[in-house]
């Protein structure tokens, strides 16, 4: 049986990850940088309404992208018909997210039939230089996505 | 000496809270529902780009509003010239945030000269009915805002 | 049918809460101060091996007591045969836990058939004076306790 | 100038890490498995009062050991006379901590002059087999340890 985490089905994984986010993804210009079993990287380009008063990416933008990358990473390991709902999100902000885009790199810590946990690093890309600006741990409930 | 947390200066507190957020606030249509010493409530109206695939407010929107309400609440207790930077954000998602707007209600748990902690309840307002959809605990570093 | 959360069965609730903890409870001298539907308060008396280098209660003692009070509070709302397993524990340390005992006061934020969340305040009692020293949010999976 | 994080001064680092914990360390039988700049691993042997009702290591024991390993890891990068105080502790419990001992492996994510963050993996050792049972993120305030 074909599953979303079959080797080689990167395009299918990417579509499945983006389907999670709906309008929030489309309008925010989120792009899938990497989608493979257990890992999803998502990029978000700078836009005025994503910035706080000093011109850095806002905490909500960072947290939202981390949540999506984490949820995507867990989803890549689930059988078809199963999805995730966020239970809790923990973010540590380490440095100002300054630059032309941010990338959230989610990787699964553990997933089971009812609960999944993913760890995320969020980097800011500024003139080609990549700086770690936040880490996050996101906990999900695995649910029927029917 | 006039300080931002003088009794009666609600308008001043609200201005100070909104100044925290810059473009993110203006364009997102965030409004200050309440601003008094130690407590800030912020509302965010439904908009397509704030929704996830099922039509509920997205985790990033909820987290971002919680962060701002929490930061606002701590700021109301600081002397002029002092502001906050988020260290960590912990959110528990309790129910789908379904409705025409969400309101984040931040209240200070404790603040000192270097670290402040605020607790937030986020409710969704749906046809006049208010439902608790998330709680958050946000930890801040107190910094010079000069 | 008699259930553990029937009005008046405080002793039954207390026994059920203590049964959660096994040896850790007995040997640590934890006592149930309050057990009612949705709320459990547990006390832990000062003992040398619970203290850190400055003589305050250690973070592990505070976290462990918070976990138990939170789990107890959720358990009081579950039907017989159901119990909890901790998914995640988030603690904010607000002040040194100095005194002759600490009390963790857990109250349920929300519980459903699969996930429960409880909020905890931990106070230190020093010569009769009570000071808030930590807050915690604990997330549980509801499981069969058979 | 001699500093605690000089190459080769592993014994000095280990002493400094243990000094953090006072009686809690000594009596709990915590041992330093590894101490090098930015990383500290601590082991805790099974003992009846550290177990919960199913015979696994209790959440408080896991959280406390994670807190110490994290604090130790940040301390190894601080100049003499500086120490840490825990601001917040976030633990995800992934599997029962079953076995003869647990080891908490802390490594620094970032540290500055006022705030440090460390990431921890806690494994349980059961008949030589090592299983990941918890992850933690711990946030510290850097203070004078004088």
Helix (H) / strand (E) element for D15: namely helix D10-19
Does D141 contact B90 at a Cβ distance shorter than 8 Å? no
Interface predicted TM-score (ipTM):
0.86
Does B139 contact C92 at a Cβ distance shorter than 8 Å? yes
Q: Which residue has the higher pLDDT, B38 or C145?
A: B38
| pLDDT in single tens digits along all 146 residues of chain A | 233 343 345 566 666 666 665 544 445 688 999 999 999 999 999 988 888 878 899 999 999 999 999 999 999 999 989 999 999 999 999 999 999 999 999 999 999 999 999 999 999 999 999 999 999 999 999 999 86
Compute φ and ψ for C15, nearest 5 degrees.
-65, -40
Residue to substitute from D86, D113, D114, interface B, most B β-carbons within 10 A: D114
* Contact predicate A122/A107, CB 8 Å: no
Please name the residue of chain A whose CA is at the shortest distance from the CA of residue B83: A53
Structure tokens at A125: 């890309």
* Contact predicate B27/A52, CB 8 Å: no
Compute φ and ψ for A20, nearest 5 degrees.
-60, -30
pLDDT value of residue B51: 85
Which residue's structure tokens are 């299983």?
A: D131
Bridge partner list, D104:
D42, D122
Residue D38, class by beta-carbon neighbours within 10 Å (0-12 exposed, 13-18 middle, 19+ buried)? middle
* Contact predicate D141/B114, CB 8 Å: yes
How does pLDDT run across C56-110, given as a tens digit for each residue?
999 999 999 999 999 999 999 999 899 999 999 999 999 999 999 999 999 999 9
Mean pLDDT computed over B105-125: 97
List of chains touching C (3+ CB pairs within 8 A): A, B, D
Instruction: Show which residues on chain C lie within 8 Å of chain B, measured between beta carbons.
Output: 90, 92, 94-95, 109-110, 117, 119, 132, 135, 137, 139
Please count the helices (runs of H) and the strands (runs of E) in chain C. Answer: 3, 6
Please name the residue of chain D whose CA is at the shortest distance from the CA of residue B117: D87
Produce one character per residue of B3-21: b if its CB has 16 or more CB atoms within 10 Å, e if not. ebbeeebeebbbebbbebb
Does A59 contact B58 at a Cβ distance shorter than 8 Å? no
Helix (H, G, I), strand (E, B) or coil at A66: helix
CA distances from C144 to A19, A117, C113 (A): 34, 22, 11
Q: Residues C16, C21, C26, C28: is their CA dihedral positive or negative? A: negative
pLDDT confidence tier of residue B18, bands split at 50, 70 and 90:
low
Least reliable range by pLDDT among B123-132, C113-122, D15-24, D108-117: D15-24
For chain B, the straight-line distance linking the first and the last C-alpha, in angstroms and rounded, comes to 18
Q: How far is A28 from chain C (nearest CA, A)?
A: 30
C88 neighbourhood in chain A, CB within 8 Å: 87-88, 90, 139
d(C-alpha C126, C-alpha A105), whole Å: 46
How does pLDDT run across D53-95, given as a tens digit for each residue?
788 999 999 999 999 999 999 999 999 899 999 999 999 999 9
Does C58 contact D49 at a Cβ distance shorter than 8 Å? no
pLDDT value of residue B73: 97
- Starting at the edge strand found earlier in the chain, the sheet holding C115-126 runs C30-36, C39-45, C101-111, C115-126, C129-144, C82-93, D82-93, D129-144, D115-126, D101-111, D39-45, D30-36
d(C-alpha A51, C-alpha A67), whole Å: 18
Question: Pairing relation of β-strands B39-45 and B101-111?
Answer: antiparallel
Does A21 contact B58 at a Cβ distance shorter than 8 Å? yes
pLDDT value of residue C145: 81
Residue A8, class by beta-carbon neighbours within 10 Å (0-12 exposed, 13-18 middle, 19+ buried)? exposed
How does pLDDT run across B80-108, given as a tens digit for each residue?
899 999 999 999 999 999 999 999 999 99
Does B90 contact C137 at a Cβ distance shorter than 8 Å? yes
D58 neighbourhood in chain C, CB within 8 Å: 21, 24, 64
pTM, rounded to two decimals: 0.89
Q: Which residue has the higher pLDDT, B113 or B24?
A: B113
């Amino acid at each position: 049986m074909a599953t979303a985490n079959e080797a080689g089905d990167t395009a299918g994984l990417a579509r499945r990850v983006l389907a999670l986010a709906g309008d929030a993804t489309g309008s925010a210009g989120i792009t899938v940088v990497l989608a493979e079993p257990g890992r999803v990287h998502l990029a978000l380009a700078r836009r005025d309404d994503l910035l706080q008063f000093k011109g850095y990416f806002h905490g909500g933008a960072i947290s939202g992208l981390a949540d999506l990358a984490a949820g995507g990473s867990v989803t890549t390991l689930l059988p078809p018909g199963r999805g995730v709902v966020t239970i809790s999100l923990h973010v540590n902000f380490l440095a100002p997210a300054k630059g032309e885009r941010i990338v959230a790199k989610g990787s699964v810590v553990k997933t089971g039939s009812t609960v999944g946990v993913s760890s995320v690093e969020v980097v800011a890309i500024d003139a080609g230089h990549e700086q770690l600006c936040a880490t996050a741990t996101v906990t999900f409930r695995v649910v029927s996505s029917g």
